[in-house]
Amino acid sequence: MAKDSVNLVYVNYTAKVKDTNEPVETTIEEESKKLGTYDQAKRYEPRLVAVGERWMLKGLEDEIGGMAIGEKRTIELEPSKAYGERDSTQVRMVPLRKFGEKAGELRAGDTVEVENRIGVVRFVGSGRAQIDFNHRLAGKTLVYDIETVKRLETDDDIIKGLIGRRLPGEAEKVRFTRGGEGKEVVVDLSEELFLTDGLQIIKRGIANDVTHFIPAVRSVTFRETYQSKEEKPAEEVGEKKEEPAAAATPREEKTTPAAEEKVEEKATQATADQIK
């Protein structure tokens, strides 16, 4: 069974900066078009929130935890509950030589990385650039129009939701089964997903989430089945006989937090602590 203390819920929301009405983010496609922020490459759908896990701003999660399904609220988050106050010490002058060949291309408003930190160029002059390392929303009060859509109640719904969180828009290409009295989960990945960027990290993340939110699950196995596309030769001259493609032997990768469990040959094992 799922952890009793965790509230997993889908929400739709639109966030704006209070003083300027500047759009920050929305999960609703039609709303993004109204705001002029529509991105064709982005998938707009309700977002899964685990109250208390800090998948969203803490102040926002606290409000969501007290909402009923279908309820709508307008939530105002002051800087202290959002991205903090602006810190003047996080605005620094950086010599242009630090940017190497790109120094001549710097312009105010550019986002740059300096010493493994991301900042925004405020101005360039006299051989230096002023870089602001504050979060772009620091010091701003945010307003969220939010609606709770669905709460995940059953273990199967939770597993499906966690898979969808790591593979947004691709959950329908994934199937899973449970065995071992609910202690084992086997995830079958569609061949369309085999070349997904960062797939190994995604699989580890899914396994970590599943074993975290459903403690009864002791192992998660990922199975990839490759179908043969080779054509069989005709058995008779002048006749081409078609035969069904043969399924290749499934390749399984097993992830488990229990170090003492035995893992079958060719399975990949990782403990829940390793799965980050």
Domain harbouring 126, CATH code: 2.40.10.330
Domain identity same for 78 and 1? yes
User: 71-80, 227-236, 266-275 — which is least confidently predicted?
Assistant: 266-275
Question: Which amino acid would we find at residue 20?
Answer: T
pLDDT grade for 235, boundaries at 50, 70 and 90? low
Contacts of 70 (CB under 8 A, 6+ apart): 147, 148, 149
- Say how many C-beta atoms besides its own lie within 10 A of residue 112's C-beta: 16
Domain identity same for 71 and 105? no
Residue 274 has pLDDT above 70, yes or no: no
Domain harbouring 77, CATH code: 3.10.50.40
Give me the pLDDT at residue 227, please. Answer: 77
Contacts of 42 (CB under 8 A, 6+ apart): 32
Domain identity same for 19 and 147? yes
Domain identity same for 10 and 97? no
Averaged over 143-162, what is the pLDDT? 96
Residue 47 has pLDDT above 60, yes or no: yes
Distances in Å between the Cα of 26 and the Cα atoms of 69, 84, 146, 169 are 19, 21, 10, 16
Return d(Cα 115, Cα 32) in angstroms, integer: 34
Domain identity same for 127 and 206? no
Give me the pLDDT at residue 197, please. Answer: 93
Contacts of 56 (CB under 8 A, 6+ apart): 47, 49, 64
Return d(Cα 186, Cα 11) in angstroms, integer: 28
Of all residues in the chain, the percent with pLDDT exceeding 90 is 69
Domain harbouring 196, CATH code: 3.30.70.2210
Domain identity same for 196 and 217? yes
Domain identity same for 187 and 218? yes
Domain identity same for 269 and 175? yes
Residue 232 has pLDDT above 80, yes or no: no
* Domain limits for position 60: 1-84+137-153
Domain identity same for 49 and 77? yes
Of 98, 132, 166, which one is at a domain's C-terminal end? 132
Residue 17 has pLDDT above 50, yes or no: yes
pLDDT grade for 228, boundaries at 50, 70 and 90? confident
Of all residues in the chain, the percent with pLDDT exceeding 70 is 80
Domain identity same for 186 and 228? yes
CB-CB contact of 25 with 60 (8 Å): no
- What phi and psi, each to the nearest 5 degrees, are found at residue 247? -75, 130
3-state secondary structure of 165: helix
Averaged over 211-228, what is the pLDDT? 92
* Triad 194, 195, 197: Cα angle to 5°: 120
Domain identity same for 67 and 182? no
Domain count along the chain: 3
Return mean pLDDT, the chain. Answer: 85
Return d(Cα 267, Cα 174) in angstroms, integer: 19
- Kindly calculate the radius of gyration of the chain based on its CA atoms and give it in whole angstroms: 25
Mark out the alpha helices in 57-136 (DSSP H runs): 58-64
Domain identity same for 75 and 195? no
Averaged over 133-161, what is the pLDDT? 96
